[in-house]
Structure 1
Amino acid sequence: MEPTSSSSSLRWKILRKALLRRSDSESQAGINRITRKATKGFNLIPCEVVDSPPESDNSREACVCYTIPIPSSPKLYLTQRVDNCSDLNDFEISNRYNIDNTGLVCQWPSEEVLAYFCKSQPDRFRGKKVIELGSGYGLAGLVIAAATEASEVVISDGNPQVVNYIKRNIESNSMAFSSTSVKAMELHWNQPDLSEFTNTFDLIVASDCTFFKEFHNQLARIIKMLLKAKEPSEALFFSPKRGDSLEMFLKEIEDIGLHYVLTENYDAQVWECHETLVKGDESWPNYEKNHCYPLLIQITNHH
């Protein structure tokens, strides 16, 4: 990313695109660096738009049915914004809380990869306390709650509008969670007092949370604060390199005393999708590894 392109200016370019629903050559390069959003992403979790929920007559919203690809195929129903449907109020709230607005823009491909990976590893989550950071509409957290027998799943975001969607989505899918406790939480990474949650989680999960460099230090700090200190615990992050942003985040991780392992090929199905897209696929015409393919980062307190 050029030094002159601040993350705030790129956020406003996303706003401009969402409001005007058109783009010009001057802004397109910057927008693509952030979004590069495919209509179907990696297409790992089948989904289809179903009718808008009865309680909503909001044309900006849709109910999307996700079918978890495991035996007996549990379905999750998520109310979310129609892609590219933002308004000025969204960005006023974003500025007021000093948060980015990307959780409202769409369901991001890295979130789908995170959800797919987690449902494939139920033993990793069984009986564990889990928190998802920067979760957007909460797909991964809901999949963990529905498919892994975790004891508790907290689905968090710093944007109060997004947290409202998470609460609705938890309520809509409550029958899918069996004995797992599931709750939404408004969580800002720079919150000074998190004593209630200090060293309480076995697992932290997150997707595509490392792009904005101004949040790196806060994110590293909150990972260290939330993970259990004396028992085995880990954070699973899925993030594309996106220029040097991931590299700079990993430096923050090391500086704060945490350790990480970076894995490129972590799932055969995801890797196969990636290789197909790299060769050229009309479902994701501007796919590019550095900006689109999420790497797996496993972060721990101990070597």
Structure 2
Amino acid sequence: MSGALARASSDAQNAVEPSWVDGHDRLRSRDFQRLATFIHGYSGIKVPPSKATMIEGRLRKRVRALGMRSLDEYCDYLFQRDGLAAEEIHLIDVVTTNKTEFFREPEHFRILAEDVLPRIMAERRVSARAPVKVWSAAASTGAEAYTIAMVLAEQRRRMPDLVGVVYATDICTDVLGTAQGGIFPAEMVSPVPPEMRSRYVMRAKDPASRLVRIVPELRAMVQFGRLNLMDASYPMDRDLDIVFCRNVLIYFDKPTQLAVLRRLCDHLRPGGYLLLGHSETLSGFDLPVRPAGTAVFRRS
């Protein structure tokens, strides 16, 4: 082979072959930056270079699912062959973090039961039977939404006029599918108090099964749907009593946090409650809410 042909062959091979390090397909820096920019613009989630290895590992699942050879081919499909529109939901599904637990940050559910719900019922100006509307705005696999539903159901035993509805949304379609089924590993419901577990969690008939399911009457209280908090407006009622948006703002930069919080507040009725994660703060933000507890705020 002549030198010119050898160079041409080498150039052609380099143009189609992916980057490999230690036997693993790796993202080129340009493609990582493109992905990070898209993810931030679409979902508000910051993806620093330190997350590159994590993103590579998760995207390899999509590479395999699409029958592609490499991350290079996948990125070419996204950015050179107009595949982004068809792939964006799947892309967001694989890069989002979905940590969730029943009764996570339990102080919030004590406040909900002992303070917030009794106060809401005492202040009702319309029919006492009007539903208390609660939104779990980053629902993941549904543990938070079902925990809220358990608290509502428990308090209805004490306040018969209390009727609750829980709206549960997330940007990730995969976790919403799990949430709607209401089926979880048995160990996941261990934080649920025993009396509530006996009322609201069903064990499988097979004693060897390690799965449990939320009871039908509780599942009926929760309405799941996909929603992107980065959207300019939300298809939600504007008279919500309570909004849970916990441990999601930490993934956003300050301008995004403020924009999302303003939209959330727009959907709270006057006197409604906003609950954030214990590590999240409203410090420095001009919002129509005032503190009402640890990471609990009430609309003015």
> TM-score, normalization: structure 2?
0.49
Q: How does the TM-score come out when normalised to structure 1?
A: 0.49
Hey, which of these two has a bigger chunk of helix by percent?
2
Largest Rg, 1 or 2: 2
